[in-house]
Amino acid sequence: MKNKLIPERIEVIEGDITQQRVDAIVNAANEALITGGGVSGAIHRAAGLGLEEECLKLGGCNEGEAKITKGYNLSSKWVIHTVGPVWEGGSYIEIDPSFEYLCIKACGNPQRAHPTFGLALEIFPNADWDALTPESPLRYWQLIEIYQSQTLNKSALKIDENILHYLASTSSYHDNRISNLIKPQPPEILDIPLSIPQLEIVQQIITNWLKKKTTELENTQNPNYPILQLCGKDTDSKEVIISTICTTLKLKPQLLRLNCLPSDSDTLNLLITRWQRQAIFTNHILLIEADKLDRNDTITLNSITEIVENSHTPLIISTREAINFPKRPSLIYDVPEITGLKQLEIWQESLPKIAPELVEYAEKLVSYFNLSGKTIINACAQISRNIETSENNIEIRGWV
C-alpha cells in the first residue's frame, strides 16, 4: 500500500525552481539570509527586493534551522530558507557567512553588503583617517583591494586573495601577482663537491652574514640587511655555494633572472612591495642572477638598484663583478674556480663508479678541460646513461 502512495506524493521535475507554481520552494540559504550565489541568488533575483528586505528582518538563521518568507514575485506563495551544515574538514577555516549581513545591518542599506572605509570610521572607536592613506600599513602592504567608486570612503573593500589564503589555510604563502617574475631556484639534485677555499667562503658567509643581520636588527627600527654578493666567473660553484648556505640557514632561494626584471616603475614597485611581504611571511630569500649583466645597460642596472635599495630583506646577488649600492651595505666574496687538483679528485671519485676503465684518463681530462665540479658530475652522469642505454660495448675513449 505504501509503495502505491509514493508516486502520488513525490514527483521529480527538472526545470527552473523560480518558475514552479507550488505552495513553497526551499532555498539553500546562508546564515545571514542574504543574497548568495547559485540557486539562492536566482531565487532572490526572481523574487525581487521585497524578499531581501523581509530576510533582513528575520535576524539570520542558524545551521539546521529554517525560516519562511513570502514568495513575492515568485510563482510559489512561500520560500522556506534553511541553512545546511558546512564541512570544515582538515585545517580549512570557513569564512564567516554572516559578515555581509553584519555590513548591511551596520550601514542600514541592503545594497551595501560589503565593508568600506566610511563604515570603519563610523563604528570603530578612535578611528583615524591616517589609516586610509596610501602610506598606512593596510594599503602600503596591499592587504586589501579597493574597488574605487565616487569617493574613497564609500568604495567597497576586499581582502587581498593571497592574504586570505594565507590566513585561512596551513599551506605555504604564495603570491600569484609576482609568480611570473620570481621562481623557486631549482633544487640541487646532485651532491656537488666544493673546494677547500670555497668551503671556507661558505663558513665565512654564514658567520658574518648572521652577525651583520643581527646587528642591523638590533640597531634600527627599519632593518637594512646587508646583501650578499658572490662574484666570479664560476657560476656553477656560486650556485652550489648559495644552495649550501640556504640549506644551512633553512632558507628557500627565489630566483629573479635578468630577463624577468621589470623596467616600468609600476611593475617594479609592485614587485618590491609584494616581495617584501612574501619575505616576511616565509623563509624565502631573493636571489638576483646578474652574471650576464651588461654594465652599460643602465635601465637594467637601475632596476636592480631599485630592488636592492628599497627591499629591506636579505638578498643574494650572483654577479661577475661587484655592484656598488650606496644605500645598502654589502658582503662581497670573490668565488675562485676549483683548481686542477680538485677537478682531478672529482674525476677520480666519480669515474670508478660508472666506468673504471676511464680512471687512467682523469689527468688527461683535467689538462684538456677546465670544468666546474657540477659540469664534471653531469658529464659522469651522461657517461653512465650512455653505457646503460648502449646495446653494444660503447667505445668512449676516443674523446679523451
What is the structure's pLDDT at 250?
Answer: 84
Nearest Cα to 104, choosing from 94, 95, 116?
Answer: 116
Q: Alpha helices of 28-146 — where are they, by DSSP H?
A: 38-47, 49-57, 99-107, 117-123, 137-140
Q: Which residues of 365-392 are buried (b: 16+ CB within 10 A; e: fewer)?
A: bbeeeebbbbbbbbbbeebeeeeeeeee
In this prediction, residues 104-133 reach a mean pLDDT of 83
Strand positions, DSSP E, 250-352: 252-257, 284-289, 315-319, 330-334
What is the structure's pLDDT at 314?
Answer: 85
In this prediction, residues 188-196 reach a mean pLDDT of 70
CATH number, domain 183-334, options 3.30.830.10, 1.10.357.10, 3.30.365.10, 3.40.50.300: 3.40.50.300
Q: Is the pLDDT of residue 4 over 70?
A: no
Q: At what angle are helices 49-57 and 99-107 packed, to 10 degrees?
A: 90
Say how far apart CA 329 and CA 326 lie, in whole Å: 8
Residue linked to cell 655592484: 323
Angle, CA of 113, 116 and 118, to the nearest 5°: 125
Q: Tell me the helix, strand and coil percentages in the chain, rounded to 5.
A: 45, 15, 40
Distance, CA of 34 to chain centre: 33
What is the structure's pLDDT at 351?
Answer: 84
What is the structure's pLDDT at 220?
Answer: 44
Q: Which residues contact 158 (CB under 8 A, 6 or more apart)?
A: 114, 144, 145, 147
Residue 118, judged by CB atoms within 10 A of its CB (0-12, 13-18, 19+), counts as middle
Is the pTM here over 0.85, yes or no?
no
Angle, CA of 202, 204 and 210, to the nearest 5°: 100
Helices (runs of H) and strands (runs of E) counted in the chain: 14, 11
Pick the range with the lowest mean pLDDT from 12-16, 236-240, 289-293: 12-16
What is the structure's pLDDT at 287?
Answer: 96
Strand positions, DSSP E, 260-357: 284-289, 315-319, 330-334
What is the structure's pLDDT at 325?
Answer: 93
Domain boundaries, the chain: 13-82, 114-168, 183-334, 340-389
Taking all residues of the chain, what is their mean pLDDT, rounded to a whole number?
A: 82
Q: Is the pLDDT of residue 236 over 80?
A: yes
In this prediction, residues 57-74 reach a mean pLDDT of 89
Confidence of residue 83 (pLDDT cuts 50, 70, 90): confident
What is the structure's pLDDT at 37?
Answer: 63
What is the structure's pLDDT at 397?
Answer: 47
Same fold, 13-82 and 183-334: no
- Residue 281, classed as helix, strand or coil, is helix
From residue 330, give the alpha-carbon distance in Å to each of 77, 182, 240, 301: 75, 22, 20, 16
- pLDDT above 70: percentage of residues in the chain: 85
In this prediction, residues 371-384 reach a mean pLDDT of 84
Higher-scoring residue by pLDDT: 219, 18:
18
**Residue 104 near residue 113, CB atoms below 8 Å:** yes
Say how far apart CA 398 and CA 400 lie, in whole Å: 5
What is the structure's pLDDT at 24?
Answer: 95
CATH number, domain 13-82, options 3.30.200.20, 3.40.220.10, 3.40.50.720, 3.40.50.2300: 3.40.220.10
Q: Is the pLDDT of residue 279 over 50?
A: yes
Say how far apart CA 208 and CA 211 lie, in whole Å: 5
Q: At what angle are helices 373-389 and 340-354 packed, to 10 degrees?
A: 20
Instruction: Check residue 259 and report its DSSP letter.
Output: G
In this prediction, residues 351-368 reach a mean pLDDT of 85
What is the structure's pLDDT at 388?
Answer: 72
What is the structure's pLDDT at 41?
Answer: 81
Angle, CA of 358, 363 and 367, to the nearest 5°: 125
Higher-scoring residue by pLDDT: 393, 316:
316
Pick the range with the lowest mean pLDDT from 67-71, 132-136, 376-380: 376-380
In this prediction, residues 307-320 reach a mean pLDDT of 92
